[in-house]
Amino acid sequence: MLQKLSSERLSVTIGQSSAAGLKPENQDFHGALVPEGNALALKGIAMAIADGISSSEVSHIAAETAVKSFLEDYYCTSDAWSAMTSGHRVISATNSWLHAQTHRSRLHLDMNRGFVCTFSAMVLKGRAAHLFHVGDSRISCLVAGNLEQLTTDHRTVLSHSESYLARAIGLSSTVEIEHRTQSLRPGDVFVMTTDGVHEHVTGREMAALISGSDDLDATARTILDKALSNGSADNLTIQIVRVDQVPPRNATGILQSFDLLPPAPIPQVSSVYDGYRIVRQIHGSSRSHIFVAIDQDTGTKVALKVPSADLRDNADYLRRFAMEEWIARRINSPHVLKAAPAHRERDTLYVVTEFVEGQTLRQWMADNPQPDLETVRDMIEQVSIGLRAFHRKEMLHQDLRPENIMVDRDGTLKIIDFGAVRVAGVLEADPEFDTGDILGTHQYAAPEYFLGEPGSERSDLYALGVIAYEMLTGRLPYGARMARASNRAQQARVAYTPLATYRQDLPVWLNDTFRKSVHPDPAKRQEVLSEFTHDLRQARAGSLAGRTVPIIEKNPVLFWKIACALLAATVLAQLVWH
């Protein structure tokens, strides 16, 4: 689907050097990794530096482990994760492992003798630098002939001559990581140093040596020599990175920096296309065409999706279409549509997924207009599991609706259609990929989207709440009114319709659950999907289950019948009196 990386990509020049100095052993460690192809766009360039503490005989192992683990494991994290999420998880895992190593050894009585080190790392991705820092190594940038420190020295000072590390990798079972994001421009220079360097060479001295240098490795060695001549008695390590090129704003990060394959033609039924025998068409719209096909190599029945003929010249549509199979390959859940195995090169753009024998949830709802509550609970819980699989990968579905949920012959529900999915890691690499348009169906889109706000996991929860409400009642909780409210004041005036208006056989307390899940303010909804599914089964403390319910909430139809009858009686009495 995605052919090749263009020349408009991030590129840097790196210089680095490390030395034991006057000490017998070098306990510092450093490294950098510049990947190629997809990894460069999706994960970026990573650099790391670590400084072992002098009180420990094994901290050089900690420093090496911290750097190697970051450079290896960061690239093993999900492409869909943001750099911040990937970095934090890798560093936290390394910290836990080093701390456990100390506790399993004779060193646990004195943590300052254990597997402990300072750590700083930087990920350059797209048009941004992501900084991670623990301890007193430093990350700085070159600004106006000086080095501006970007990180904080995590040291506690007791006196002029005495201080100690307040944070370090491996020092405790958990670690507080300093994180910062900074935009990138061509010509930017970042410098990472251990304290043996920056305590003995000033920022201006380093900046003067770096500015205009063509050989950053030689410059790094010169700075170490200067630190030694200035009296440094510690290990010395420096990394210098100069940004030579960043992806242009109007061209692109992850998908726009790839040449897309040409859209596949709409195949004919009974024909063979690219190794797939087309059996029949099962869907056709202005956005796509989907066919049942047989993979001739394996005999497997699959669903083959090709771009719509009407949108083949729409670059944004084609990029999103190309993303669908990429997303499907990164989610593993029984309740999310799976991508079919890819074992042939493609010359055109199309998507191949598993074929689900069954019907859409919309058709199921038409066949079951008054389902029992337990059936709806079970089905909504399945969809919730599928949504959580998206959220664990830092993805939002953004177009959850009955048409995008399949019910197979065994009663298993699967979320399909990933054309509107928001992927944090992709947007980080390519912010232009998010056009700000509302991609989902308006009746199920969360109100915050109509205010121009970015979605969150609670936005998908809103859509799930609307679907569950509609499954039980056949109606929408706000009708079509919420989709026409374009500001907070208008949204606040849109009235929620109580469940009892349509279903008086449902538990009264259930109305609280739905009112909360589809609240216009995302902060007032359930915090997570599991809280919503729990509330579908159990009344909350303080809910309607424990208090007298006004008749207008319990049975609004009866309330208005009584009100009308009383009004008629009053009018009749007035006429008789006059």
Q: Is 253 domain-assigned?
A: no
Q: Is 255 domain-assigned?
A: no
Do 227 and 164 sit in the same domain of this protein? yes
Do 285 and 265 sit in the same domain of this protein? yes
Q: Is 250 domain-assigned?
A: no
Give residue-wise pLDDT tens across range 16-36.
999 999 999 999 999 999 998
Averaged pLDDT, 151-172? 82
Contact 191, 140 (CB under 8 A): yes
Do 475 and 543 sit in the same domain of this protein? yes
Do 376 and 337 sit in the same domain of this protein? no
Q: Which of 354, 379, 398 is the last residue of a domain?
A: 354
Give residue-wise pLDDT tens across range 195-225.
999 999 999 999 999 998 899 999 999 999 9
Give residue-wise pLDDT tens across range 66-78.
999 999 999 998 8
Please report the pLDDT score of residue 350 as a whole number: 92
Do 395 and 280 sit in the same domain of this protein? no
Q: Is 486 domain-assigned?
A: yes
Do 423 and 380 sit in the same domain of this protein? yes
Q: Which of 295-309, 338-352, 455-469 has the lowest mean pLDDT?
A: 338-352
Q: Considering only CA atoms, which of 492, 489, 462 is closest in space to residue 477?
A: 462
Cα dihedral sign, 75-77-83-86: negative
Provide the CATH number for the domain around residue 136: 3.60.40.10
d(CA 103, CA 114): 8
Q: Which of 491-495, 497-501, 521-525, 545-549 has the lowest mean pLDDT?
A: 545-549
Strands (E), 416-555: 422-423
Print burial letters for 232-246: b (CB count within 10 Å at least 16), e (below 16).
bebbbbbbbbbbeeb
Tell whether the model's pLDDT for residue 447 goes beyond 90.
yes
Please report the pLDDT score of residue 180 as a whole number: 94
Phi, psi at residue 23, to the nearest 5°? -85, 155
Q: Which domain holds residue 576?
A: 548-578
β-strands 28-33, 413-415 pairing = unpaired
Please report the pLDDT score of residue 480 as a whole number: 86
Please report the pLDDT score of residue 539 as a whole number: 84
pLDDT band (50, 70, 90) for residue 495: very high
Q: Considering only CA atoms, which of 326, 317, 351 is closest in space to residue 423?
A: 326
Return the H-helix or E-strand segment holding 207. Answer: helix 203-210
Provide the CATH number for the domain around residue 536: 1.10.510.10
| pTM for the predicted model, two decimal places | 0.74
Q: Which of 245, 279, 303 is the last residue of a domain?
A: 245
Do 194 and 298 sit in the same domain of this protein? no
Which stretches of 393-450 are DSSP H helices?
Answer: 424-429, 447-450
Do 54 and 175 sit in the same domain of this protein? yes
User: In the structure encoding, which two tokens stand for residue 231, read together?
Assistant: 């009296």
Q: Is 254 domain-assigned?
A: no
Q: State the Cα angle at 542 between 537 and 546, rounded to 5°.
A: 80
Do 445 and 500 sit in the same domain of this protein? yes
Do 552 and 532 sit in the same domain of this protein? no
User: Which residues are within 8 A (CB) of 280 and not within 5 positions of it... i.e. 6 or more apart?
Assistant: 269, 291, 292
Q: SS3 for 23? A: coil
Q: Considering only CA atoms, which of 10, 21, 78, 19 is closest in space to residue 46?
A: 10
CA-to-CA separations, 517 to 20, 102, 468, 483, in angstroms, rounded: 60, 46, 10, 16
Count the domains in the chain.
Answer: 4
Q: Is 54 domain-assigned?
A: yes
Do 538 and 573 sit in the same domain of this protein? no
Q: Which of 214, 245, 276 is the last residue of a domain?
A: 245
d(CA 56, CA 111): 9
Give residue-wise pLDDT tens across range 536-566.
999 876 654 444 445 555 555 555 567 677 7
User: In the structure encoding, which two tokens stand for residue 494, read together?
Assistant: 């849109």
Provide the CATH number for the domain around residue 291: 3.30.200.20
Contact 450, 415 (CB under 8 A): no
Q: Considering only CA atoms, which of 51, 30, 53 is closest in space to residue 122?
A: 30
User: Which residues are within 8 A (CB) of 202 and not within 5 positions of it... i.e. 6 or more apart?
Assistant: none
Which stretches of 509-555 are DSSP H helices?
Answer: 510-517, 529-535, 551-554
Q: Is 251 domain-assigned?
A: no
Averaged pLDDT, 427-435? 66
Do 574 and 534 sit in the same domain of this protein? no
Q: Is 240 domain-assigned?
A: yes
